[in-house]
Amino acid sequence: MIHLYPKPLSPLKWMGLCLFFIGFVVLSSKAQSVRPSFKMAPGQALQKIGPELAVLAIQQAPDNRSAAAKTLTRFPVNKSLLQIKGNQVVIQALAENNTEQLLIDLKALGLTYPAAYGRLVSGLIPIAALNKVATLKSLRAARPAYKPATKIGKATTQGDRAVYADSARKQQVVTGKGSKVGLLSDSFNSAGEAEKGVKSGDLPGKNNPNGYTTPVQVLLDEAPGWGTDEGRAMAEIVHDVAPGAQLAFYSADFGPASFAQGILDLQQAGCNIIVDDILYFDEPMFQDGIVAQAIDAVRKKGTTYFTAAGNQARDSYQAAYKPGGVAYFGSKSFMGPQKAHNAHNFAPTGKKKDVTQKIFIPVGTSLTISFQYSEPFYSVGDGSSKGAQSDLDIFLLTEDTTDVVTSSNYSNKGSDPVEILSFFNDGSYDSNYFNILIDKYEGASPSIIKYVLFKDDTDITIKEYNTASSTIYGHNNAAGAITTGAVFFLDTPAFGIEDPVAESFSSAGGTPILFDENGKVRNRLVRRKPEIMAPDGGSNTFFGNAFLDEFYFYGTSAAAPHAAAVAALMQEANGNNLTPDRVENTLQQTAQDMNDPGFDFETGYGLINAPKALNLVSTPRVREFNLVDADSRKTIKRLKEGDIINLTRLPTRNVFLYVRTGPTHVGSVLFDVNGDQKTESKVPYNYPGSTDNYFKITEGNYTITAVPYTQANGKGEKGVPLTLNFRAVEEKIIRFELYNVNNGSVVQELEEGDALNLANLPGSLNIRAVTNPIIVGSVQFSLNGKTTTENLNTYDLAGSSGQSIDFKPGNYTLSASIYPYEMARGSVGGSKTITFEVIDTATNPSHNTNGQLAVYPNPFPQKTKLQFSVPETGNATLTIYDLNGLPVAILHNGQAVAGKHYEYVLDGTSLPGGWYISLLVTNKNTYHQKLRLTKQN
């Protein structure tokens, strides 16, 4: 797979020799006039897994003392495209008949990151198990899942301005809220630095300073150090343009089957928009492969899919296959002269036959070629396809054709018609000119052959017979994908260029679809690709080309997420009801035309324009409510669902409600505030309206609704309303609670004049101030002149970390005051002060001269203890009353001895939950305590 940002590839020289030795030393072959060919013979031990995996298996085998193995270890395996991760390699395996059985068999051999789609299984397999993989009866063939190509090229992308998304957000009052954008690339946090992007505000997450605190949902990621985190760079672009959209990520590095499954999983995770910048080199060119099919599947279910077009410009050769007959080449190669069975004739009709094509590859540059021909894929479809019925190979030769520098020659018959060739010019050749040779090894002649060139240097050029054909293929050519090309942000009207100019590398469309999903021949179909263009080259925090400590992200990998983010803005502007067809058609209709009038295969319908797109799909809607000071006309706060408004802290009780609408101007807004309806037809849209200056906000619950209309006085089209609830409260200390530090249970509510007998109380006590609202800035306590401050709820005098108050007998004055900020900063608000007495009859019985009534615990769920003593001997009655004054229990009725401790249990099992009064009546005094039974009625 390729990330469409050119990257240097490692050398592949002598790959052909490795393949030769597999065919010559490991496999049997018949003697012939020329040396044995590179082709692995059918029926041989490792033939099912192909030459590259076979070489890898032999080179890394624990016992490589055989002559064949010793010979093979002289030559490097093609590791530039193989995804080797530790002692494992990513493969894609084709099932013989039963895909499920193949998946089971591969898992038994150690397959990790498994995925199956259609007849293809992909994942990571231990290299040591490759020999056993080759013997599986459930396997038809396997090959490496080549490194996919990514289409790329403390920051805000300039692409935001290039498509006027910045002004569109202001005009429509949108952020992309309501959409979830799924991203598919190589990795997201392989480098472990995603949190830096969150803290800088470039990514959403818990520590985002701008309030976008929903973290990126990562469904599958590369292991540490395996990826470049290009997916994180894409996420930064989406977050710049649509900061209110949620994000999700899935690594597409584990083979095409995993890629396809990731698309389905992202939709299942709630993504209504998905974007990728990945291409596997061996995705079908003339047929919709499994990734394209997955895209079409999610689009049918309502997900809009964007894909990067690619960075291959028109670096492609496409032509009808023309038999050129037998040809000999490689006379100076290590294995001697080779024979092409029926080489393709590149020369135009009527010209002298030429079976090679000259290509220029400068020293220090590398290329990869995906070569395919017009036959169906075995790995695609319902199992009815027999796959390729011919076998073509591709070779790269020196300028004089006497040496083979690399080749790709899988046994394609009955499998997939694809060959992947890669090469790095290390300067060891006499010339920087080379030749491509394509051979039909066996089978019928295909009607079309095609290759696409992926290069890391613009100087690599096809020097003859260059057809400059289409380069968009695979899932980038899927019907369900919105394929996006690239325009450098400085080459846009927003930056002074009247007619936007496409990046020279942006891939061109026009690749024909010749087979249906199941490999049956269909009428030739050429899809209009790319559909749109979007900006690249913008800034991000870490990825791409570095210049003056800034990173600039180039390529269609950067363009596609810009388009996906604009789609999120469109969804919110519409009320999140847009279908994928509506998104695509709107982007095309409102794009600025480029190149030829109307559609063309280089720039599609042109550069997207966010304001025009949003205007075309927007519906009137209410975005937010604001509480405004009617005296100063300053906004007090933006209201959110469930807000608690602290009236004590308001600068005034004279307020009005102001709504922001999107678009910013609508015909009118109908308000309903607790049943009171008003209509406002003028900007700003306020309740109670332009004829009233304000309303007085009082304590209570509020339900407010605002409905926009396209015309004045609540007429015309009704837009998207907004309703929220909030509560207005007076700031105060509601009560003090004495509680047991050891178990957190409330002993009793502490009231004015209470007497606490330490003999009847737990040993560790603390006092809590219960506030309204529940959360305040801080509470400052004063107990007999000693102050403490508690910043976090719950607000406890001795702190909330297990400390307790060291009570001594005596008189106490307790006060608590609320402040708007931590550490008692700001102006003081609600306060409460009480006095109470503490005695201890256990250590000082004479202290019981004034008598006492205590309840513990209080509140109580079922049972509580009532304790009392009296100062003088005489008759006493202890009665429990409900709030209607009716007695519910008489606990004591008779003589009470002075100084004696009496204790009773009140069983509330048969009583309803609620408040009760305990009343102790003596000859001279009356004592009472409130009780609260907390059980459910």
Compute the half-sphere exposure of residue 846: CA atoms within 13 Å on the CB side of its CA. Answer: 0
Residues 45 and 136 both lie in one domain: yes
pLDDT tens profile 741-771: 999 999 999 988 888 888 888 989 999 999 9
User: Given the structure tokens 């990790």, which residue do they identify?
Assistant: 112
pLDDT higher than threshold 60 for residue 591: yes
The answer to whether 684 touches 635, Cβ cutoff 8 Å, is no
DSSP codes of every residue in 526-554: E-----EEEEE-EEESSSSEEETTEEEE-
Q: Give the end-to-end CA distance of the chain in Å, rounded to a whole number.
A: 66
pLDDT tens profile 832-872: 999 998 988 776 654 544 667 888 888 888 899 888 888 88
Question: Rg of the Cα trace of the chain?
Answer: 39
Angle at Cα 778 formed by Cα 776 and Cα 779, nearest 5°? 105
38 pLDDT band, cuts 50/70/90, is low
**535 backbone dihedrals φ, ψ, rounded to 5°:** -75, 155
Structural domain harbouring 931: 851-937
CA-CA distance, 716 to 724, in Å (whole number)? 24
Residues 368 and 420 both lie in one domain: yes
**132 backbone dihedrals φ, ψ, rounded to 5°:** -75, -35
* Cβ neighbours, 10 Å, residue 885: 7
CA-CA distance, 635 to 790, in Å (whole number)? 30
The answer to whether 347 touches 354, Cβ cutoff 8 Å, is yes
Residues 609 and 679 both lie in one domain: no
pLDDT higher than threshold 70 for residue 8: no
13 pLDDT band, cuts 50/70/90, is very low
Residues 176 and 296 both lie in one domain: yes
Residues 144 and 185 both lie in one domain: no
pLDDT of residue 694: 87
* Cβ neighbours, 10 Å, residue 254: 27
Q: Strand 2-4 vs strand 149-150: parallel, antiparallel, or unpaired? A: parallel
The answer to whether 26 touches 49, Cβ cutoff 8 Å, is no
pLDDT of residue 822: 94
873: domain CATH number is 2.60.40.2550
Query: Which residues are CB-contacts of 585 (< 8 A; sequence separation ≥ 6)?
Result: none
pTM of the model: 0.74
CA-CA distance, 617 to 199, in Å (whole number)? 34
pLDDT higher than threshold 80 for residue 155: no
pLDDT of residue 478: 97
538 pLDDT band, cuts 50/70/90, is confident
Mean pLDDT value across residues 684-712? 90
Give the chain's domain count: 6
pLDDT tens profile 78-90: 567 888 888 899 9
377: domain CATH number is 2.60.120.380
pLDDT of residue 153: 35
Query: Which residues are CB-contacts of 749 (< 8 A; sequence separation ≥ 6)?
Result: 735, 736, 737, 738, 858, 930, 932
CA-CA distance, 567 to 214, in Å (whole number)? 20
Of the ranges 13-17, 156-160, 662-666, 714-718, which one carries the lowest mean pLDDT score? 13-17
Residues 187 and 305 both lie in one domain: yes
The answer to whether 779 touches 817, Cβ cutoff 8 Å, is yes
Length of the chain: 937
Query: Tokens at residue 256, please?
Result: 């095409």
Residues 861 and 782 both lie in one domain: no
CA-CA distance, 146 to 764, in Å (whole number)? 68
Domain boundary (618, 639, 667) is at 618
Mean pLDDT of the chain: 88
The answer to whether 722 touches 705, Cβ cutoff 8 Å, is yes
Cα distances (angstroms) measured from residue 274 to each of 206, 208, 607, 781: 23, 23, 20, 55
Percent with pLDDT over 90 in the chain: 64
CA-CA distance, 163 to 240, in Å (whole number)? 13
Q: Where are the alpha helices (DSSP H) in 66-129?
A: 67-72, 99-108
pLDDT of residue 603: 97
Residues 757 and 875 both lie in one domain: no
pLDDT tens profile 457-480: 889 999 999 999 999 999 999 999
Helix (H, G, I), strand (E, B) or coil at 732: strand
User: Residue 646 pairs with which residues in a beta bridge?
Assistant: 729
Residues 336 and 263 both lie in one domain: no
Residues 594 and 456 both lie in one domain: no
Domain boundary (820, 847, 874) is at 847
pLDDT higher than threshold 60 for residue 71: no
Mean pLDDT value across residues 545-561? 81
The answer to whether 361 touches 460, Cβ cutoff 8 Å, is yes
pLDDT higher than threshold 60 for residue 67: no
756: domain CATH number is 2.60.40.10
Closest CA to 274 of 189, 185, 155, 380: 185
pLDDT of residue 85: 86
pLDDT of residue 44: 65
CA-CA distance, 144 to 130, in Å (whole number)? 11
Is the torsion defined by CA of 507, 510, 511, 513 positive or negative? positive
User: Given the structure tokens 């689009």, which residue do they identify?
Assistant: 299
Mean pLDDT value across residues 622-632? 92
CA-CA distance, 229 to 190, in Å (whole number)? 6
Mean pLDDT value across residues 792-821? 92
Is the torsion defined by CA of 629, 630, 635, 639 positive or negative? positive
Residue 925 or residue 111, greater confidence: 111
Residues 68 and 139 both lie in one domain: yes
pLDDT of residue 332: 86
pLDDT higher than threshold 90 for residue 927: no
381 pLDDT band, cuts 50/70/90, is confident
CA-CA distance, 94 to 118, in Å (whole number)? 9
User: Which amino acid, 133?
Assistant: V
Q: Where are the alpha helices (DSSP H) in 134-182?
A: 159-162, 165-172
Closest CA to 651 of 636, 666, 671, 665: 636
User: Given the structure tokens 């099912």, which residue do they identify?
Assistant: 48
Mean pLDDT value across residues 809-834? 93
pLDDT tens profile 172-223: 888 999 999 999 999 999 999 999 999 999 999 999 998 899 999 999 999 8
CA-CA distance, 44 to 46, in Å (whole number)? 6
Residues 403 and 505 both lie in one domain: no
Cα distances (angstroms) measured from residue 853 to each of 238, 839, 860, 871, 925: 67, 12, 16, 12, 12
Percent with pLDDT over 70 in the chain: 90
Domain boundary (115, 148, 181) is at 148
pLDDT tens profile 422-458: 999 999 998 999 999 999 999 999 999 999 999 988 8
Of the ranges 63-72, 92-101, 269-278, which one carries the lowest mean pLDDT score? 63-72
Residue 287 or residue 47, greater confidence: 287
Cα distances (angstroms) measured from residue 162 to each of 158, 275, 491, 558, 560: 6, 19, 9, 13, 14
CA-CA distance, 68 to 229, in Å (whole number)? 40
